[in-house]
Amino acid sequence: MATGKDPAPRKSLGQHWLVDDSALQDICESAELSDEDVVLEIGPGTANLTTLLLEDAAQVIAVELDENLYTRLVQMNIPGLEVINEDILNFDFDRLPKDYKIVANIPYYLTGKLIRQISESSNRPVIAVMLVQKEIAQRMSAKPGDLSVLGLISQYFWDVQKGAIITADKFDPRPKVDSQVVILKRKTDLPLELDEQKALFRLIRIGFMSKRKTILNNLSTIENTDRDELRSRLQNIGVDPGRRPQSFSLDEWLKIHLALST
């Protein structure tokens, strides 16, 4: 439980302190740190992970929204630590050096927005190690048949690996579900330019408008789309218009995007 030393977690911010030394060490090792690395830590909380990161990294830049925790971290005066009191969703990643790394124990409610934010940033980290809800880790690394918009975004920008499962009893307070480390390694050979990337993910979001409907039905909702022409274009690239969106691989979505944009 929280003591006079550790502030009580705030439920409104989704705070759960990871208090297991072995789990904290697993996260640090997954980040493949060197003594030249700059690490962005999101939501450092009580600095349990922060102090371990600084054993191997040159600097940790910690973004903490909670003003009480921010003040406490500043007062700790930890060498190599810079603390910023800001909402990570408003953070400018361009202020960070190239090839920085991210390490984060993310509140569950924030995960999807944050992954999209770092994925679409012009200054993506070379690696991001995140502790997320186990179900989210599975969605990010899913294969065709179980893919989602989040999984496709993740796999377009990153090589996605699943790390250690961290059970709920390793946190204070205990969450309702288990967590899992997910490791995102930056892809450098993206197939599309920025404008085309945006168009691809607009298409995918429309394609997933209803997971129970076929790709033909979902994409037919695009303005000024001729249904018969759409069916013909899909068939011409070997895509069955009767398939559902979660069955398509990233490569197939890229083919669909190319077929519909020419």
- 74 and 203 housed in the same domain: no
Supply the pLDDT for residue 84.
97
CA-based nearest residue to 234, from 203, 210, 190, 199: 203
- 108 and 145 housed in the same domain: yes
8 pLDDT above the threshold of 70: no
- Cβ neighbours of residue 11 closer than 8 Å, sequence gap 6 or more: none
Reduce the DSSP state of residue 66 to 3 states and report it. coil
CA-based nearest residue to 205, from 193, 215, 190, 196: 215
Query: pLDDT per residue over 231-262, tens digit each?
Result: 999 999 999 999 999 999 999 999 999 999 97
Supply the pLDDT for residue 187.
97
- 224 and 132 housed in the same domain: no
- 151 and 174 housed in the same domain: yes
Q: How far is CA 90 from CA 59, 184, 197, in A?
A: 21, 21, 22
The model's confidence at residue 17, banded by pLDDT at 50, 70 and 90, is confident
Pairing of strands 101-105, 38-42: parallel
- 16 and 68 housed in the same domain: yes
Which residue range is the domain that position 220 belongs to? 194-261
172 or 72, which is more confident: 72
Number of structural domains the chain divides into: 2
**pTM, rounded to two decimals:** 0.91
- 140 and 58 housed in the same domain: yes
Q: Please, is 104 exposed, middle or buried when counting C-beta atoms within 10 Å of its C-beta (0-12, 13-18, 19+)?
A: buried
Query: pLDDT per residue over 225-235, tens digit each?
Result: 999 999 999 99
Reduce the DSSP state of residue 4 to 3 states and report it. coil
The model's confidence at residue 223, banded by pLDDT at 50, 70 and 90, is confident
The single residue listed with the structure tokens 């600084």 is 54
- 207 and 182 housed in the same domain: no
CA-based nearest residue to 115, from 155, 64, 61, 84: 155
- 110 and 199 housed in the same domain: no
Q: Copy the structure tokens of residue 86.
A: 């800001």
| Domain-embedded: residue 86 | yes
Q: How far is CA 35 from CA 55, 69, 80, 125, 227, in A?
A: 8, 26, 11, 17, 57
Query: pLDDT per residue over 124-145, tens digit each?
Result: 999 999 999 999 999 999 999 9
- 165 and 198 housed in the same domain: no
The model's confidence at residue 1, banded by pLDDT at 50, 70 and 90, is very low
d(CA 157, CA 159): 7
| Contact between 194 and 202 (Cβ < 8 Å) | no
| Domain-embedded: residue 3 | no
Cα dihedral 164, 170, 176, 181 in deg (nearest 10): -20
